Amino acid sequence: MDGGSRYQLISVERTDNGIAQSAAVTGANVRIITPDGISMQATEDVPTPDGRARWNGMYRVDLNAHGVFRPQPGATYTLTVTVPSGARTITGTTTMPTPAGVDPGTIRPLFNRQTDTLRMAWPRAKGAATYQVTIECAIPSGDATIFAQYSFFADTAFALPGTARTLDNDPVFFDGSIATVYVHAVDDNYYSYYHVTTDPFAGAPPSRLHGALGVFGSMAVVTHTTFPVR
């Protein structure tokens, strides 16, 4: 559950005979149930006119269509997925973290990646297991813009030098880019499943679903900031 979006996306895939290749599951019945008992039906992404699906196996719930405008902080939501055969129903629950307040975001002055260090701190959010920091750099490339992302988990503060590099030895901050840094409070489901993407030695993620492997988690924006990089 994305606390900042009216659209909630659910990806449904399957593997056969233990082979580590996945295939999209179409025709599933996917719902998100609110604490008030409202059952919000997901719509499966339909093929484009050329016959290709926009997102194979992707289902989306439009909260506005059900009179809901944002996931409610502190509320517990239930996901149910019934596969086409009807032989299996997958379920999961998540409780939205509650940030301390609404942060309008900030715009910082020029960030010199050779000499500056990015420092951020924020108050704890109720129900958060930890916080995901995502740095997205928009890099001009001719008539297009390339986006590079770097993500890690932190407690309630971090300090990252402008010279920092990723595990693949790519720069975190790119010269001439516009960087946007998002801090999200995430629940325990999200953290337990996704922290392996930032820690390659953490081992396989545990499943937080009943009846399938996967995760139904939630995140809420705590703060964000934007600045040019040189």
Q: Has residue 2 been placed in a domain? A: no
pLDDT at residue 144, rounded to an integer: 93
Cα distances (angstroms) measured from residue 28 to each of 77, 138, 217: 19, 36, 20
> Are 167 and 190 within one domain?
yes
> Are 118 and 212 within one domain?
yes
Alpha carbons 7 and 85: distance in angstroms, whole number: 27
> Are 90 and 110 within one domain?
no
pLDDT at residue 14, rounded to an integer: 86
Q: How many domains does the chain have?
A: 2
Whether the CB-CB separation of 75 and 96 falls below 8 Å is answered with yes
Closest to 173 in 3D by CA, of 184, 160, 159, 182? 160
pLDDT at residue 17, rounded to an integer: 63
- pLDDT 10s per residue in the chain (230 long)? 999 899 999 999 988 765 567 788 989 999 999 999 999 999 998 766 655 556 678 999 999 999 888 899 999 999 999 998 777 899 999 999 999 876 778 888 999 999 999 999 999 999 999 999 999 999 999 899 999 999 999 999 999 999 999 989 999 999 999 999 999 999 999 999 988 766 666 666 788 899 998 999 999 999 999 999 99
Instruction: State the CATH number of the domain containing residue 42.
Output: 2.60.40
Of 36, 62, 95, which one is at a domain's C-terminal end? Answer: 95
pLDDT at residue 88, rounded to an integer: 85
Q: Give CA 206 to chain center in angstroms.
A: 17
Q: Has residue 101 been placed in a domain? A: no
pLDDT at residue 133, rounded to an integer: 97
pLDDT at residue 103, rounded to an integer: 74
Q: Has residue 23 been placed in a domain? A: yes
> Are 138 and 195 within one domain?
yes
